[in-house]
């Protein structure tokens, strides 16, 4: 099932959301035009590699400065492949406009970056020996989902599901759709933690960390004036 839109009204243009989407898309497309080796170097430099901060010796041997903490933020604008980018941008497009509408542009941008930073930090905490760059806007977007979960619990999320090439559309409450999403993230994260040898190619803890951060922090970023 693929979410295609929501039913919550938005009363302002989500300029910050659109700008974040444009940055992610432009950076990804620009990276694809570079030679493979340069792509790899930039991904390791600006993606968050957990072992880089847990093992300074590894970082020095790999040629990475161990005190380059900017990657906890810059990693939010890098993506691994087209599917990774498209899914993240779809979720950002559907859910972020309403949250930006309730917070205002500056507050929303600060909220987005803070959730992404906390999400990436939690991923480092639970997997400090990982030698693969953690990239993607998923952690910050999970923060947006956490805010949306409490601000619009009964808004409808429109899901598209193809059955024998016929498009079938379902309307489900946001609280149900996002609740299932959280359960899946928690299950995947705990499975990777409990069972050794499980291949992990998704930053599940970043997803959970972002959602928790968004759920706890959103109320401090809301506009003071009432929403129409």
pLDDT in tens, 55-85: 888 888 877 877 778 999 999 999 989 999 9
pLDDT in tens, 8-53: 999 999 999 999 999 999 999 999 999 999 999 999 989 999 988 8
User: 52 pairs with which residues across the strands?
Assistant: none
> What count of other Cβ atoms lies within 10 Å of the Cβ of residue 165?
5
Question: What is the predicted pLDDT for the residue at 194?
Answer: 63
- For the chain, which domains are there? 2-220 (1.20.1540.10)
- Two structure tokens written together for 82: 């087209």
Question: What is the predicted pLDDT for the residue at 174?
Answer: 94
pLDDT in tens, 135-174: 999 999 999 999 999 999 999 999 988 777 777 888 999 9
Buried b / exposed e across 17-35, counting CB within 10 Å, b at 16+?
beebbeebeebbeeeeeee
Per-state percent for the chain, helix, strand, coil, to nearest 5: 65, 10, 25
For the entire predicted model, the pTM comes to: 0.92
For residue 52, is it left (φ>0), alpha (ψ between -120 and 50) or beta?
alpha
């Amino acid at each position: 099932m693929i979410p295609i839109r929501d039913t919550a009204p938005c009363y302002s243009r989500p300029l910050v959301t659109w700008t974040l989407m444009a940055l992610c898309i432009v950076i990804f497309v620009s990276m694809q035009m570079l030679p493979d080796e340069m792509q790899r170097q930039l991904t390791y430099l600006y993606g968050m590699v957990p072992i880089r901060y847990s093992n300074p010796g590894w970082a020095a041997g790999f040629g990475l400065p161990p005190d380059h903490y900017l990657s906890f933020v810059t990693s939010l604008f890098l993506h691994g492949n087209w599917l990774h980018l498209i899914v993240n941008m779809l979720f950002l497009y559907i859910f972020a406009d309403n949250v930006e509408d309730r917070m205002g542009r500056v507050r929303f941008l600060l909220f987005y970056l803070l959730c992404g930073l906390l999400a990436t930090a939690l991923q480092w905490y639970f997997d400090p020996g990982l030698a693969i760059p953690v990239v993607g806007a998923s952690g910050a977007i999970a923060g947006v989902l956490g805010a949306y979960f409490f601000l619009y619990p009964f808004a409808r999320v429109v899901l598209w599901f193809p059955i024998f090439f016929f498009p079938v559309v379902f309307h489900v409450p946001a609280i149900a759709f996002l609740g299932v999403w959280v359960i899946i993230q928690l299950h995947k994260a705990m499975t990777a933690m409990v069972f050794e040898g499980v291949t992990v190619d998704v930053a599940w803890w970043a997803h959970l960390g972002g959602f928790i951060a968004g759920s706890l922090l959103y109320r401090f970023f809301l506009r003071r004036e009432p929403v129409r």
